[in-house]
Chain A
Amino acid sequence: MQIINVKNLTKTYITHKRGSGFKETIRSFFKREKVIVNAVNNVSFTVEEGSITGILGPNGAGKSTTIKMLCGTLFPTSGEITAMEFRPYADRKRYVGEIGAVFGQRSQLVWDIPPIDSFNMNRAIYGISQADYKSRLDELAELFEIKEVMHKPTRVLSLGERMKCEFIMAMLHKPKIVFLDEPTIGLDVIAKAKIREFIQKINATGTTFILTTHDLEDVKQLADHVIIINHGVKVFDDTLQNLQLNLGEKKIVELTLEEPFNNSVLDDSVRVIEQKSPLELVLEVDVSKTTIGDFIERLSKKLSISDISVKELPMEEIITQIYEEEKTED
Chain B
Amino acid sequence: MKKFFNIYFTCIKTAMARALAYRLNFVLSMLIALGWNALFPLVTILIYGAGASFPGWDFYEVLLIQSVFLLSTGFAFMAFNGVLWSTMHHIREGSFEIVLLKPISPIFFMIAANFDPECVGMIVGGTVLFTIAIVHTGVASVMAVGQFLILFTAGFAVMAGINMLMAATSFKWVGNSRIPEIFDSMMEFGKYPATIFPKPLQGIAAFVFPVSMIGFFPAQALLGDLEMYMIISIIPCILFMLFGIFMYKHMIKLYEGVGG
User: A125, B258: Cβ atoms under 8 Å?
Assistant: no
User: A117, B17: Cβ atoms under 8 Å?
Assistant: yes
- Known contacts being A120-B10, A125-B109, is A93 close to B103, with CB within 8 Å? yes
User: B259, A74: Cβ atoms under 8 Å?
Assistant: yes
For residue A89, CB closer than 8 A to chain B, the reply is yes
Minimal Cβ-Cβ distance residue in B for A72: B100
Minimal Cβ-Cβ distance residue in B for A39: B260
User: A74, B256: Cβ atoms under 8 Å?
Assistant: yes
User: B18, A110: Cβ atoms under 8 Å?
Assistant: yes
- A14, B259: Cα distance in complex, Å: 10
User: B11, A73: Cβ atoms under 8 Å?
Assistant: no
- Name the interface residues of B19-46: CB closer than 8 Å to any CB of A: 21-22
- A64, B104: Cα distance in complex, Å: 23
For B94, what are the chain A residues with a Cβ–Cβ distance below 8 Å?
106
- A304, B3: Cα distance in complex, Å: 69
For residue B177, CB closer than 8 A to chain A, the reply is no
For residue A323, CB closer than 8 A to chain B, the reply is no
Chain A interface, number of residues (Cβ within 8 angstroms): 36
For A97, what are the chain B residues with a Cβ–Cβ distance below 8 Å?
103
User: B22, A68: Cβ atoms under 8 Å?
Assistant: no
Partner of A113, one of B17, B93, B100, B103: B17
Interface of B, helix, strand, loop or mixed by DSSP: helix
- Known contacts being A74-B256, A106-B97, A112-B22, is A121 close to B104, with CB within 8 Å? no
Minimal Cβ-Cβ distance residue in B for A124: B10
Minimal Cβ-Cβ distance residue in A for B100: A73
- Known contacts being A68-B97, A106-B97, is A125 close to B103, with CB within 8 Å? yes
User: B260, A13: Cβ atoms under 8 Å?
Assistant: yes
User: A127, B258: Cβ atoms under 8 Å?
Assistant: no
- A59, B96: Cα distance in complex, Å: 21
User: A64, B260: Cβ atoms under 8 Å?
Assistant: yes
For residue A163, CB closer than 8 A to chain B, the reply is no
- A137, B229: Cα distance in complex, Å: 57
For A74, what are the chain B residues with a Cβ–Cβ distance below 8 Å?
97, 256-257, 259-260
For residue B95, CB closer than 8 A to chain A, the reply is yes
- Known contacts being A113-B18, A117-B17, is A73 close to B101, with CB within 8 Å? yes
For residue B153, CB closer than 8 A to chain A, the reply is no
B105 to chain A, nearest CB (A): 7
Minimal Cβ-Cβ distance residue in A for B90: A106
- Known contacts being A13-B258, A89-B256, A125-B109, is A96 close to B101, with CB within 8 Å? yes
5 A–B contact pairs at CB < 8 A? A13-B260, A68-B260, A73-B256, A106-B93, A106-B95
Q: Which residues of B contact A (CB under 8 A)?
A: 3, 6-7, 10-11, 13-14, 17-18, 21-22, 93-98, 100-105, 109, 113, 253, 256-260
A72-B100, A103-B98, A117-B13 provided; 4 other pairs, C-beta below 8 A?
A14-B258, A65-B260, A117-B17, A121-B10
